[in-house]
Amino acid sequence: MQISDEEFVLLRDFIYLQCGIFIAENRKYLVENRLSNRIKELNLKSYNEYYNFLRFDANRRKELNKLFEVVTTNETSFFRNPPQLEVFQKSVLAETLEQCRKSGQKKLRIWSAGCSTGEEPYTLAIILHEVLKSDIRTWDIKITANDLSEAVLAAARRGVYNEYALRT
């Protein structure tokens, strides 16, 4: 099933308004590939019908969750981006910890947005343990992790990983 340019723009803009994910024109195939199965499962005839389903159907909330799951790319692993993590550890974290110590407030809050199946926030926790060592017990630390996909959040909560997730 092919998506027309008009249908692509409708769905692309709708997706952006719902969750902030922008899909560029050159990724039209991605929308077509990822949404065609949803259209078939819902017994709809076109992408335009799917758009209207997402806007007006009584089950649209449930379908929005499925939409978010198919349009997001959940590529992740522990220590996935070493240069980024090095900057976090040696610059951002070091400076933040020093400021906390100087103020006498050993309280740290970290937000892992788009955490997928949890490897990134768990990586941050490992880094904190490596940096703070046994002193970590004296800190009030919370890492908040969220994602659009309920399915990947459930996997993150389980915290069970295979060798592929540990590849780096």
Based on the domain organization, do 86 and 160 belong to the same domain? yes
Catalytic, 167? Answer no
Give the Cα separation of 41 and 144 in Å (integer).
34
Based on the domain organization, do 96 and 160 belong to the same domain? yes
Catalytic, 34? Answer yes
Give the Cα separation of 124 and 122 in Å (integer).
5
CATH code for position 160: 3.40.50.150
Q: Are 72 and 21 in contact (CB under 8 A)?
A: yes
Based on the domain organization, do 56 and 90 belong to the same domain? no
Give the Cα separation of 102 and 91 in Å (integer).
16
Would residue 91 count as lying in a domain? yes
Based on the domain organization, do 156 and 132 belong to the same domain? yes
Per-residue pLDDT of the chain (168 residues; tens, 9 = 90+): 899 999 999 999 999 999 888 999 999 998 999 999 999 999 999 999 999 999 999 989 999 989 988 888 777 899 999 999 999 999 999 999 999 999 999 999 999 998 999 999 999 999 999 999 999 999 999 999 999 888 889 999 999 999 988 888
Query: Which residue out of 55, 57, 137, 147 is catalytically annotated?
Result: 147
Would residue 77 count as lying in a domain? no
For 108, the 3-state DSSP assignment is strand
- pTM for the model stands at 0.74
- Count other Cβ atoms within 10 Å, centred on residue 71: 20
Residue type, 156: A
Would residue 107 count as lying in a domain? yes
Based on the domain organization, do 108 and 162 belong to the same domain? yes
Give the per-residue pLDDT at 1: 86
Residue range(s) defining the domain that contains residue 30: 5-71
Based on the domain organization, do 55 and 130 belong to the same domain? no
Based on the domain organization, do 130 and 157 belong to the same domain? yes
Would residue 76 count as lying in a domain? no
Query: Which residue out of 34, 61, 140, 157 is catalytically annotated?
Result: 34
